[in-house]
Every structure is written in structure tokens, then in C-alpha cells.
């Protein structure tokens, strides 16, 4: 099945047609910078431009940085607060003329990783953590997703987790890999005490440098790098629309 996957982020909005059986992009990704302020109408215009770029008239799956219930945004992370309460699915349908399925962006990445990446064929409890500007999470039990976990926003030692252990924080504070890994370890041990995952999959751009920090972690769960990398959000969004 061919579905247009779109991944909305705080800095860029990108998309591509996806073969949801093979988990492969059918054309090069098309990316547009996220409009300043990331307000609903402005983001919707960009989503419309991406659909137009591919001359798309079929179903669309869209990964979005928010808790989503039946297409309605209940939170907003690195985008305008005006999204809260907005029916994003309806808004994007209006600008594209296509049926749109919305999914939390980290959940989208998780779906792709479980179907085609490091989580393929893995049972038990799997926690996927995407590390970038913030911390995104998706949680699976025997392959079934528990949506909208947003565990990057919980407090760890009195600090919001993503403000302590994100990749952006590492760069801003110029932390060594050892010091930063200690923070990530504290976060993951908190997750382990709450959910006891069998496997933790670390995604996001930082996963390319996994050898610099994964060996420094002390959690009991098996910790492995993600495999889908930059395509995860687009592929997972398309998968969400195919179910």
C-alpha cells in the first residue's frame, strides 16, 4: 500500500510516499522549514505544499509533536500552544483534500522501528526513546502500542527529563559523553523502575553515535540503537494510516 507519510517537527516538516509493506520511501524526502511560531494555519499550508509536491490524492499519515486523541491535539511540544484543542486531522484534510490520520511523532517512529527496524520480531515490553531537541518515547507490549506516553516530560530528580538528558542539552551545556551518559542513565533507570522494559531502543540523530554512550549505561534492560534513523517518522506515520 502506498501512503504519503509526513513528519512535523519543530524545525522542519518533511514527507515522502511510503511503501507500507516494505517500509521504504518511494521518492526522495521533501523538506520545508517549519514556519516561525509553528501556528496551525502556517503549518497546515506547509503540509499542503508537501502533498502538492508529490501530486498526492490518497491517504496521508502525519506524525505530530503532541498528544493526539481522535486527531485533536491535547498538548504542544516545540510548536505553538494554539494547537491545543485544534483538530489537526480536519485542518490538514482541508489543506490537502486527502484523508489524514494523525499520530504522535514518537509513536510514529516507534511503529516503524517495531515493524522494520531494531524492534522487529521482539516480544515483551519494548521502550523506544528518541533523543534530539527533546525526548520522545513510545511503549509497546508484545508489539501493541500504548499511545501518547510522552515520558520525556516526566520529572527526574526534580527536573523535566528532556531538559536534563536531551541531545540539545548536551550541546548547549557542552557536556562530555561520559557526563551526558550519566544523565541518560538516570533517566533510563527511572523508566526501568516504572515499566521494566525487556529492551530499550535509542533513536534520534544521536543513535548514530551510540558507541560513545550506550556502553556507559548501567540499566538492566538490553539497550540497542534504532535502525530506521531519519526515515522512522515518515514511515511510521504512513503505517498509522494503513491500519
Label the pairing between strands 135-141 and 125-131.
antiparallel
pLDDT, mean of residues 69-78: 94
- Name the residue ranges covered by the structural domains of the chain: 2-107+231-242, 121-227
CATH of domain 121-227: 3.30.420.40
Q: Under 8 Å CB-to-CB from 157, ≥6 apart: which residues?
A: 164, 186
Cell numbers 531502543 correspond to: 201
Q: What is the value of pTM for the model shown?
A: 0.94
Cell of 158: 526534580
* Tens digit of each residue's pLDDT (9 = 90 or more) over 79-115: 999 999 999 999 999 999 999 999 999 999 999 999 9
- Closest C-alpha to 106, from 86, 75, 136: 136
pLDDT digits (tens, 9 = 90+) for 31-43: 999 999 999 999 9
CATH 3.30.420.40 applies to domain 2-107+231-242: yes
| CA angle, residues 16, 228, 53, in degrees to nearest 5 | 10
Task: Give the torsion through C-alpha atoms of 72, 80, 32, 242, to 10 deg.
Answer: -10
Amino acid at each position: 500500500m502506498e501512503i504519503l507519510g509526513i513528519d512535523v517537527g519543530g524545525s522542519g516538516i518533511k514527507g515522502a510516499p511510503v511503501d507500507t509493506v516494505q517500509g521504504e520511501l518511494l521518492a526522495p524526502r521533501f523538506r520545508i522549514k517549519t514556519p516561525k511560531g509553528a501556528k496551525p494555519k502556517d503549518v497546515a499550508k506547509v503540509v499542503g505544499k508537501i502533498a502538492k509536491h508529490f501530486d498526492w490524492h490518497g491517504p496521508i499519515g502525519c506524525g505530530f509533536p503532541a498528544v493526539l486523541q481522535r486527531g485533536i491535539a491535547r498538548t504542544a511540544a516545540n510548536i505553538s500552544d494554539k494547537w491545543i484543542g485544534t483538530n489537526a486531522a480536519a485542518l490538514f484534510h482541508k489543506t490537502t483534500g486527502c484523508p489524514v490520520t494523525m499520530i504522535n511523532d514518537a509513536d510514529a517512529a516507534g511503529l516503524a522501528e517495531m515493524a522494520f527496524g531494531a524492534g522487529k520480531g521482539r516480544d515483551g515490553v519494548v521502550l523506544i526513546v528518541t533523543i534530539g531537541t527533546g525526548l520522545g518515547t513510545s511503549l509497546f507490549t508484545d508489539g501493541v502500542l500504548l499511545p501518547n506516553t510522552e515520558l520525556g516530560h516526566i520529572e527526574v530528580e526534580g527536573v523535566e527529563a528532556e531538559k536534563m538528558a536531551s541531545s540539545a542539552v548536551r550541546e548547549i551545556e557542552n557536556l562530555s559523553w561520559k557526563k551526558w551518559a550519566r544523565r541518560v542513565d538516570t533517566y533510563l533507570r527511572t523508566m526501568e523502575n516504572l515499566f521494566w522494559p525487556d529492551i530499550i531502543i535509542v533513536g534520534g540523530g544521536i543513535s548514530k553515535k551510540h558507541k560513545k554512550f550506550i556502553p556507559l549505561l548501567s540499566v538492566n534492560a538490553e539497550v540497542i540503537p534504532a535502525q530506521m534513523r531519519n526515515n522512522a517518522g515518515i514511515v511510521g506515520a504512513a503505517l498509522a494510516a494503513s491500519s
